[in-house]
């Protein structure tokens, strides 16, 4: 069995001012064991990114970047700017960005490309709507998202499978659904030129301390992208511990 890297990633979304992020990071720093085998990444809003420099036990991720290198894009933040803050990861193509900011697979592809240019590791989010699931279109949807978002990309990325109907709803996908989807994703990755067995695939969608233990035990789950439950440091740490104990 291939030993893929395991991740515990917090997506704060549009929550926490700088002092709150600092407080979170200080507390997490005290909780985390230095010799941890898993990679913990905090993705706060842009305004709190530098607060996460306080620790060397967790890595930092941004929640988004612009798809262009630089230029007249008022209000936007570039990959180069993020990298300059010692950020190593970036969430790309989150379903909230696809839905509210109309991001297309083509734009997401440009973002993956520019992230890699500046040595940021993309955490690419994919996943189906409830309607697509009901219409038996999960495979078709994932295939389309992966082939378009990763067009021309050769570097390894991290994938987060986040079924849209499970995000922020309290309705976690079942173990069966997650296993099927992650295996499907590995196969699609193989088909488009990656080694699917080597790529870490995380699950996201209402992960919490009550379901994390069961879900991390699944062979094809290499960690979590956690929204709501990541806002409380003790809750996030409980999930982190389940991942750590799963080895």
Cα 107 from Cα 38, distance rounded (Å):
31
Q: Is the CB of 35 or the CB of 49 nearer to ligand PGA?
A: 49
Asked if 103 interacts with ligand PGA (CB under 6 A), we say no
Per CB under 6 A, does 225 bind ligand PGA?
Answer: yes
Residue 172 per-residue DSSP state: P
The answer to whether the beta carbons of residues 73 and 66 sit under 8 Å apart is yes
The yes or no reply on residue 204 touching ligand PGA (CB under 6 A) is: yes
Q: Does 168 bind ligand PGA (CB under 6 A)?
A: yes
Would you count residue 205 as binding ligand PGA (CB under 6 A)? yes
SS3 helix, strand, coil % of the chain, rounded to 5?
Answer: 45, 15, 45
94 is catalytic: yes
CB of 28 to ligand PGA, least distance (A): 17
- Three-state DSSP state, 239: helix
**Is residue 45 within the footprint of ligand PGA (CB under 6 A)?**
no
**Residues 8/224, Cβ–Cβ less than 8 Å:** yes
Q: Which stretch binds ligand PGA (CB under 6 A): 18-26, 62-70, 224-232, 235-243?
A: 224-232
- 226, 233, 239, 243: residue in contact with ligand PGA (rule CB under 6 A): 226
Task: Please say whether the beta carbons of 165 and 130 come within 8 A.
Answer: yes
Residue nearest to ligand PGA (CB): 227
CA distance 201 to 177: 14
Residues designated as active site: 94, 162
């Amino acid at each position: 069995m291939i030993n893929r890297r395991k991740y515990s990633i917090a997506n704060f979304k549009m929550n926490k001012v700088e002092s709150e992020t600092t407080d979170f990071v200080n507390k997490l720093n005290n909780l985390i064991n230095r010799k941890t085998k898993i990679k913990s990444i905090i993705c706060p809003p842009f305004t709190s990114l530098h607060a996460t420099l306080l620790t060397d036990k967790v890595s930092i991720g941004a929640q988004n970047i612009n798809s262009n290198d630089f230029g007249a894009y008022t209000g936007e933040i570039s990959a180069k700017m993020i990298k300059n803050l010692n950020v190593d990861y970036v969430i790309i193509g989150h379903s909230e960005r696809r839905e509210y900011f109309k991001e297309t697979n083509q734009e997401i592809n440009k973002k993956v490309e520019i992230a890699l240019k500046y040595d940021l590791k993309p955490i690419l989010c994919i996943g189906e709507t409830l309607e697509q699931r009901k219409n038996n279109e999960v495979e078709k949807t994932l295939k389309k998202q992966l082939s378009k978002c990763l067009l021309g990309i050769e570097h390894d990325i991290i994938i987060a499978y986040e079924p849209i109907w499970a995000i922020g709803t309290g309705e976690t996908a079942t173990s069966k659904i997650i296993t099927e989807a992650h295996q499907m994703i590995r196969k699609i990755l193989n088909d488009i030129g990656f080694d699917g067995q080597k790529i870490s695939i995380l699950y996201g969608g209402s992960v919490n301390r009550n379901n994390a233990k069961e879900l991390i035990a699944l062979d094809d789950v290499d960690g979590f992208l956690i929204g709501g439950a990541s806002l409380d440091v003790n809750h996030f740490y409980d999930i982190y511990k389940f991942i750590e104990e799963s080895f």
